[in-house]
Each structure stands twice: as C-alpha cells, then as structure tokens.
C-alpha cells in the first residue's frame, strides 16, 4: 500500500488498491475474533461474511508472474468457527467471462471441508454508491448451481430483479433481498409481503430465506433498524397467511 495501484471499474470510477509483488500466503485467521465475540453473546446461529476469491482478485493488482488462474486461488478458506455461515462475496457480474472459467472451481476450493451452512452472495454494490446503475439481471447466476454452497444470496429489491432467474437454481436455498437499501424510506408491510410473495412464486417456502439486498453500511442506524423491523413484520405476515392457507 506504500505505492498503491489504481484500477478503473466498469463505471469509470478509479480506486487505489494494493499491489501484489510477491507470493501470497496465509499468515493468520481472518475474522476469528469477530466470530468469537458473537459466540460469547448468543447461542443462536450466527452468520459471518468473508470476501470471496473474485472480490479479492478484483480489489488488488497482480504484478507477479503468477497466472490468472493461480491468482484466483488466493483466498482459500482453511477453517471456520462452529455455527458460522460463510458468505464469500463474489462480484462475478463484473467479469462474467473470467467467472465462467474460474468462478465455480475457486468457490468450491474456498469452501472445501466446511460442514456448516455456506452461501455465496452476488453483490451489485452498496446502494449508496451504485444508485441508478444496477441491472435488472445477473450476468453470472445459473452457473452457481454447480457450486458446493448450499445457499445463493441475491439482491432483488433495489434492482427490481427478474426472479425468473431463480428457476435455474433449483435445489439451492435462496437468500432473497426484499429490502431496498437505496431508498431511505422504511418499507411498509405490504411492500415487503409483495416481494416475498414474488419470491414464493419461484421458490418453495422451505428454500427461501429473507434478507436485505446487501449491507446497511451507509444507512442511519434508525433507518436500518426500521427496515429490519419491516422485514420481520413482513415475514411474519406471510408466514401467518401460509399457515391459514394450509401451506407447510
């Protein structure tokens, strides 16, 4: 980082990133203390997010003689705390051609040996940063059916995603974004339930998990809390309705 490189993303934004000038090796666990903190404070299932191979590769410049393929392996995960849910964040939509060649093997290697539930999150970017630029579809999604990850996490609320893409992920649990983080107005229960119902039209209830689109990093705490309350209330309303209809 003393002499960072500059990369340009697909929207023309320039960002300083580290330069990789020698071999990469794992020197210590990452996020271990975070999970230990969670475990001390709850006995409920806990989730922790780890950057995936594509995220790491895109946020640094490789100036070694390593091949592109070996560069993709740089984030191999060795172990994870009990009850954690790993979610390698994989912005594969930015480079779909490279994703076709490397993504599935890289993800599978990163998750090798894990026995806890795992998920891959395809990120369109923080809503505060990427506002009007989010597409209505993923350029790399059906291929994730071949990953060992049990769950696929997608953004659907802000980009108004065409949920027909979920048909290609039969067998996977879908973590569906039903909270729009670009709009600071807290959703109504009706808005949330409509988004949930749209998901249920494609995915059975036992394979659907509800979530915000992505991180709430840029939202005021009060707004974030309100949106989470709306999410819970919407989920409760749909669950009660399904029970009335006799659904499992």
Assess whether 46 and 149 both reside in one domain.
no
Assess whether 152 and 243 both reside in one domain.
yes
Assess whether 241 and 208 both reside in one domain.
yes
Assess whether 85 and 202 both reside in one domain.
no
Mean of pLDDT values over 133-150 = 77
Both tokens of 77, joined, read 């995960």
Mean of pLDDT values over 33-42 = 93
Sheet of 119-122: strand order equals 119-122, 151-154, 173-179, 208-212
Q: Are 208 and 177 in contact (CB under 8 A)?
A: no
Assess whether 172 and 220 both reside in one domain.
yes
Q: Are 193 and 235 in contact (CB under 8 A)?
A: no
Assess whether 83 and 183 both reside in one domain.
no
Q: Which residue has the higher pLDDT, 230 or 147?
A: 230
Assess whether 3 and 111 both reside in one domain.
yes
- Given 62, 82, 117, the domain boundary residue is 117
Q: Is the model's pLDDT at 81 over the cut of 50?
A: no
Assess whether 61 and 178 both reside in one domain.
no
Residues whose CB falls within 8 Å of the CB of residue 5, separated by 6 or more in sequence, listed in order: 16, 17, 18, 19, 60, 61, 63
pLDDT tens column, 146-189: 889 999 999 899 888 888 888 888 889 999 999 999 889 999 99
- Given 117, 132, 152, the domain boundary residue is 117
Assess whether 124 and 113 both reside in one domain.
no
Q: Is the model's pLDDT at 235 over the cut of 90?
A: yes
Domain CATH for 202: 3.20.20.210
Assess whether 49 and 157 both reside in one domain.
no
Assess whether 212 and 101 both reside in one domain.
no
Q: Is the model's pLDDT at 122 over the cut of 70?
A: yes
The count of structural domains within the chain is: 2
Highest mean pLDDT among 10-19, 122-131, 132-141: 10-19
Domain with 10 in it: 1-21+30-117
| Range from 93-102, 167-176, 221-230 carrying the lowest mean pLDDT | 93-102
């Amino acid at each position: 980082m003393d002499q960072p490189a500059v990369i340009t993303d697909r929207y023309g934004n320039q960002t300083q990133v580290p330069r990789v000038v020698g071999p990469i090796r794992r020197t210590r666990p990452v996020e271990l203390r975070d999970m230990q903190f969670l475990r001390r404070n709850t006995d409920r299932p806990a989730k922790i997010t780890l950057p995936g191979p594509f995220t790491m590769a895109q946020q640094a410049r490789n100036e070694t003689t390593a091949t592109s393929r070996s560069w993709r392996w740089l984030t191999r995960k060795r172990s994870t705390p009990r009850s954690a849910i790993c979610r390698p964040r994989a912005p594969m939509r930015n480079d779909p051609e490279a994703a076709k060649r490397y993504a599935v093997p890289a993800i599978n290697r990163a998750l090798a040996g894990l026995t806890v539930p795992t998920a891959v999150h395809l990120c369109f970017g923080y809503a505060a940063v990427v506002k009007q630029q989010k597409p209505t579809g993923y350029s790399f999604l059906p291929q994730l059916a071949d990953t060992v990850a049990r769950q696929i996490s997608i953004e659907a609320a802000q980009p108004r995603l065409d949920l027909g893409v979920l048909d290609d992920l039969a067998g996977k649990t879908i973590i569906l974004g039903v909270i729009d983080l670009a709009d600071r107005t807290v959703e109504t229960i009706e808005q949330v339930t409509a988004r949930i119902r749209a998901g249920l039209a494609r995915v059975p209830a036992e394979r659907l998990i509800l979530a915000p689109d992505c991180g709430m990093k840029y939202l005021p705490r009060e707004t974030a809390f309100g949106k989470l309350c709306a999410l819970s209330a919407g989920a409760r309303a749909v669950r009660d309705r399904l029970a009335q209809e006799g659904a499992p």
